[in-house]
Amino acid sequence: MRNRILCLSVIVVLFLSSGCASLILSQKGKLITAGRYSELEKVIESEMKDISSAASAELVGLCEAYAKLKKYSKLFSCAAQLEKNIQKGDRRAWEWRPFVGVTGGPYKAPGYFPSDITLIPYLLRAEAYIDLGDYGRSIEAAKRASELLPALDRSLFDGKHFNENRLIGTLALAYALNGDRENAQRYAEKLEDKGVGFVGAVPAKKEKQLILARIYMALGRFDKILANKGSIHDAFGKVGETLLLSRGLFSHLDLPRDFMIYKAYYETGHVREAKEGYDKLLGNPETAHNGGIYWPILFDRGRIAQREGHGGQTVEFYRKSIEVIEAQRSTINTEANRIGFVGDKQKVYHQMIAALYADHRHVQAFEYAERSKSRALVDLLASTQEFGASKNKEEISSMLKEIERVESEAQAIDMGSPVSDKAAQRSSRGVQIKERLKALAPELTSLVTVFPPPPSEIQSFLRGDETLIEYYYHGEDLYAFVLTKNELRAFQLDGRDLSKDTEDLRRRLQEPKSAEYIDLSQRVYQRLIRPISKAIATPKLIIVPHGILHYLPFNALNSGSGYLIDQYSVSYLPSASVMKFLRPGRAQKTGKALILGNPDLGDPRHDLKYAGNEAVAISAELPHARVLLRKEATETNFKRLADQAGTIHFATHGLFESDSPLKSGLLLSRDGENDGLLSVNELYSLRLNADMVVLSACETALGKINAGDDVVGLQRGFLYAGANSIVASLWKVDDLATSELMTGFYLNLKKTNKRDALREAQLAVKKKYEHPYFWAAFQLTGMAD
């Protein structure tokens, strides 16, 4: 044993200090150890002409950099090319081993060993799908990698141990997040029993500890995290860690590992140890550059301060945590992540709102409620970077890209970078660009900041006969903020089983032959409207829903003596802040109307007989209307004529893709130029001058419900494209009743505003068809005048 230890020590010394192999890291190696992946990406891309012609040895580092930067579009393309290379036999690369430097070989790259990378494309996809919340696909990709594992080369330096551990850990984490505790536990135990190999043992052990901690955190097994917190067993690991950590390596692994240990202390009731550990991490300047752990540390410190009764500290920690979260959001480079906006971050807003409400600071509570949601559209726009509605499209797009680059370098990406003057300069540059953006296009400011106008400004947009009701809920906590021209009041409501009751009510409302909806409708009314009814003294309501409440037809809520529609005219907004951009003058009312009805979808079963009649009838009420029916109702014709219309009306089918909301859209006739699906994603690059868009189609008001963020759907796409208001449906509507309702709506517009015109049309249909299924689906979002 003594000889073995001596031998290993000699090997370590030789590797670390000999003339032919010394700890001289390559530029890429240094960037990897520091976690500075944005710089790594630039270095590799500058050396690579085209990924389609790049060798696997070049590609693998770039793919890993994209993965760390969460640039999933680029990652998936890179992984696909890497897979093609491997299938052609190019499956040997040089894997970076951070504790040695080796010269020689065809690459002459210090710090690299030959490695079989056959698993890498599948591992990258599996890990990316976890980030994107698609745990089923993550498991599929990881299983594909496991099928290839036996065929890996078994040379000393092939990275088999590391990649196999990475694979097992990914499977365990995906199963844990997918709710399959049995499989998660099985793979976690398998990982605990696996070795890490010889080369790269120190970082491999640290990676293994980190993976295990993530798995047990996902499983809520904080006791396991604490039990494994000090596990480095063999002599080589101890010698290696002593030598290497003295050189300051692997802090990008140590910080998240230490965070999870202190998190485990907190969750197991060891608050003193957690507080001391968190304060130690907050005193480390590198923590601020690791956005993934910085905001949770601040959040937990706020919770600890709250337990200790330090109200001022509580709010301050929460405030800092939210600032970190909001700064990171413009650096997430994926549509799915922007839509998803990691759900547990909403806990920070929730706790902040609860703390402010408890302290009777209702104005600030409202501000954070507004900040916590309604970011889905603007986040999407920041990722697509399509700005067809702006006169300064190219300059704005360029500025947003520059802001994203500056912030990614200064805040969330370079996790191991020390605080420096360069970082401060980048931050200052970001502020300057944002100020320029605000001057160019104030309506786009929320693309890069989430500060809403103050409540006093929002109140200034309200008329004397309007009351705005904004809801916010998280878990069982439900708040309602009621704003009038001169007053803001806040209420804490009963949020227990709110999602279930809303889903049940929606389902029953879509059963026109059943009256079972009535009791449930009254129950939801008692929870959402009754407690705030004394604060409502106006005939017109503007409702800002939250989460599942976007699916709720408030008009159909029953007080016991009638429906909400019997007493109030109701309109909706995705957020109160939108009022700033939806006042008269923003849209150019041309007086022209564009009507598309009953498009030819190539299948008689999809024909909408009454939709064609509806289009013709409506055209008689609108001067200068252009009517496109059947084969003329093409996506191409819409895009060609849309910017000339003040009113746009669709009488067609809508397609709702809950898992891919950007692919939701309206079905029009296809031709040689377009496929016939006018998708949400396409709307962001359109420029409209419409005062109103009417979506007389099925389920056009629906969107993907996210944890905290607003619904992403057609309504928001049209609002951004330039429409002042949208009329859309919440469920598959009756063809004949819809035709009657829409005809009445346009007749009413000749004598009143949009909100009242829709209400009167709904009341008229209600007299003929009492069940809310026939009249309650449609709602007006945006400017009600």
Q: Nearest CA to 127 among 141, 115, 114?
A: 141
Q: What is the pLDDT of residues 408-428, one digit of tens each?
A: 444 333 333 333 444 444 445
Alpha helices, DSSP H, located in 467-538: 498-509, 517-528
Confidence at residue 6, expressed as pLDDT on a 0 to 100 scale: 36
How far apart, in whole angstroms, are the C-alpha atoms of residue 758 and residue 139?
Answer: 48
What is residue 562's predicted lDDT score, i.e. its pLDDT?
93
Considering only 374-378, 505-509, 675-679, which range has the smallest mean pLDDT? 374-378
Best-predicted range by mean pLDDT (23-27, 527-531, 640-644): 527-531
Name the nearest CA neighbour of 780 among 483, 459, 542: 542
Mean pLDDT along residues 466-490? 94
Mean pLDDT of 541-549: 90
DSSP secondary structure of 580-630:
GGSSTTSS---S-EEEEEEE--S-GGG--HHHHHHHHHHHHHSTTEEEEEE
Tell me if 710 sits within 8 A of 377, measured CB to CB.
Answer: yes
pLDDT at 378: 44
- C-alpha to C-alpha distance for 380 and 378, rounded to whole angstroms: 5
Q: What is the pLDDT of residue 28?
A: 58
By the 10 Å C-beta count (0-12 exposed, 13-18 middle, 19+ buried), 335 is classed as: buried
Please tell me the predicted confidence (pLDDT) of residue 681: 73
Mean pLDDT over 332-339 rounds to 34
How far apart, in whole angstroms, are the C-alpha atoms of residue 157 and residue 62?
21
The answer, yes or no, to whether residue 355 has pLDDT greater than 90, is yes
Q: How far apart are CA 297 and CA 279, in angstroms?
A: 9
Between residues 379 and 651, the one the model is more confident about: 651
Q: What's residue 1's pLDDT? A: 45
Radius of gyration of the chain (CA): 29
Residue pair 665/677 in contact by the 8 Å Cβ criterion: yes
Name the range with the highest mean pLDDT among 40-54, 353-367, 730-744: 353-367
More confident residue, 37 or 365: 365
Nearest to 418 by CA among 284, 276, 519, 562: 284
Q: Which tokens hold the place of 462? A: 């309200």
Query: In the prediction, which pLDDT does 10 show?
Result: 32
- Domains of the chain (ranges; CATH) run 2-224+235-243 (1.25.40.10), 336-441 (no CATH), 455-580 (3.30.420), 584-782 (3.40.50.1460)
- Write out pLDDT tens, residues 124-135: 999 888 877 788
Q: Give the containing element (helix H, strand E) for 63.
A: helix 56-69
DSSP 406-435: HHIIIIIS-TTPPP-HHHHHHHHHHHHHHH
Is the pTM of the predicted complex or chain greater than 0.85?
no
Q: Please indicate whether residue 394 or residue 624 has the higher confidence score (pLDDT).
A: 624
Q: Comparing 107-111, 153-157, 310-314, 459-463, which segment has the lowest mean pLDDT? A: 107-111
pLDDT at position 311: 87
Tell which wins on pLDDT, 263 or 155: 263
Give the bridge partners for 704, in sequence order. 712
What DSSP element (H or E) covers 95? strand 92-96
Name the helix (H) or strand (E) containing 704: strand 703-704
Helix then strand count (H, E) for the chain reads 32, 18
Secondary structure E strands in 165-236 = none
Residues 6+ apart with CB under 8 A from 491: 479, 480, 481, 482, 531, 532, 535
Nearest to 565 by CA among 346, 707, 762, 407: 762
Rounded Cα distance between 252 and 550, Å, is 41
Residue 745 has pLDDT above 70, yes or no: yes
State both tokens at 582.
């939806």
Give the least confident one: 125-139, 149-163, 587-601: 149-163
- Answer for the pair 179, 218: CB distance below 8 angstroms, yes or no: no
Pair of tokens at residue 155? 């040379």
The lowest-confidence range among 157-166, 298-307, 495-504 is: 157-166
pLDDT at 282 exceeding the cut of 70: yes
3-state secondary structure of 100: coil
The confidence band for 333, taking pLDDT boundaries of 50, 70 and 90, is very low
Flag the least confident range among 380-394, 493-507, 576-590, 603-617: 380-394
| Cβ density class 737-749: b for 16+ within 10 Å, e for less | bbbbbbbbbbbbb
pLDDT at 228: 73
Q: 390, exposed or middle or buried, with CB in 10 Å at 0-12, 13-18, 19+?
A: middle
pLDDT for residue 233: 33
Contact of 722 with 689, CB cutoff 8 Å: yes
Residue 454: is its pLDDT beyond 90?
no
Could you tell me what percent of the chain has a pLDDT over 90?
A: 26
CB atoms within 10 A of CB 99: 23
Q: What is the reported pLDDT for 675?
A: 83
Q: Please give the backbone phi and psi of residue 178, each rounded to the nearest 5 degrees, phi first.
A: -85, 0
pLDDT at 679: 80
Is the model's pLDDT at 618 over the cut of 90?
no
Task: Give the residue-averaged pLDDT of 270-294.
Answer: 87
Top-confidence residue, 176 or 582 = 176
Strands 725-729 and 778-782: antiparallel
Per-residue pLDDT reduced to its tens digit, 749-783: 889 999 999 999 999 999 998 999 999 988 998 88
Cβ(700)–Cβ(666) under 8 Å? Answer: yes
Q: Distance (Å, rounded) from C-alpha 125 to C-alpha 137? A: 9
Q: What is the mean pLDDT of the segment spanning 266-277?
A: 94
Question: Who wins on pLDDT, 170 or 613?
Answer: 170
pLDDT at 580: 76
C-alpha separations of 543 from 378, 554, 780 in Å: 20, 9, 10
Residue 765: predicted pLDDT: 93
pLDDT above 90: residue 571: yes
Asked if the model's pLDDT at residue 525 lies above 60, the reply is: yes
Contact 762, 775 (CB under 8 A): yes
Residue 283 has pLDDT above 50, yes or no: yes
**Which amino acid type is present at position 752?**
T
Q: Give me the pLDDT at residue 680, please.
A: 76
Evaluate whether 676 touches 631 at the Cβ level (below 8 Å): no
Q: Do the Cβ atoms of 781 and 715 come closer than 8 Å? A: yes
What pLDDT sits at residue 9? 36
User: pLDDT class for 251, splitting at 50, 70, 90?
Assistant: low
Higher pLDDT, 102 or 492: 492
| Residue 29, pLDDT above cutoff 60 | no
Confidence of residue 162 (pLDDT cuts 50, 70, 90): low
The residue with greater pLDDT, 726 or 447, is 726
The residues with which 471 forms a beta bridge, in sequence order, are 480
- H or E segment at 491? strand 488-494
pLDDT score for 666: 83
CA distance 309 to 362: 20
Compute φ and ψ for 113, nearest 5 degrees: -125, 155
Distance CA 517, CA 532 (A): 23
785 vs 726, more confident: 726
User: Model confidence at 441, in pLDDT bands (50, 70, 90)?
Assistant: low
Query: How far apart (Å, rounded) are the C-alpha atoms in residues 124 and 39?
Result: 20
Return the DSSP state at 96. E
Least confident interval from 146-155, 370-379, 604-613: 370-379
Beta bridge partners of 778: 729
Give the pLDDT mean for 254-269.
Answer: 87
From CA 698, how far away is CA 507, in angstroms rounded? 15
What pLDDT digit, counting tens, does each position of 195-250 carry?
A: 655 444 455 666 777 778 888 888 888 888 888 766 533 333 444 444 333 334 44
- With H, G, I as helix, E, B as strand and everything else as coil, classify residue 546: coil
Residue 275, pLDDT > 90, answer yes
CA dist 777 and 730 (Å) reads 5
CA-based nearest residue to 221, from 271, 172, 254, 171: 172
Amino acid at 660: S
Rounded to 5 degrees, φ, ψ at 571 are -130, 170
pLDDT, tens digit, 9 for 90 and up, residues 97-154:
443 333 333 333 333 444 778 888 999 999 888 877 788 889 999 999 889 888 776 5
| Residue 129 CB-half CA count within 13 A | 22
- In this predicted structure, the answer to whether residue 339 has a pLDDT above a threshold of 50 is no
Q: What is the pLDDT of residues 623-632, one digit of tens each?
A: 788 888 888 8
- Given a cut of 90, whether residue 52 has pLDDT beyond it is no
- The alpha carbon of residue 438 and the mean position of all alpha carbons in its chain are separated, in whole angstroms, by 23
**pLDDT for the residue numbered 362:** 95
Task: Give residue 656's pLDDT.
Answer: 66
Nearest-5° angle of CA 521, CA 527, CA 530? 95
pLDDT of residue 542 exceeding 60, the answer is yes
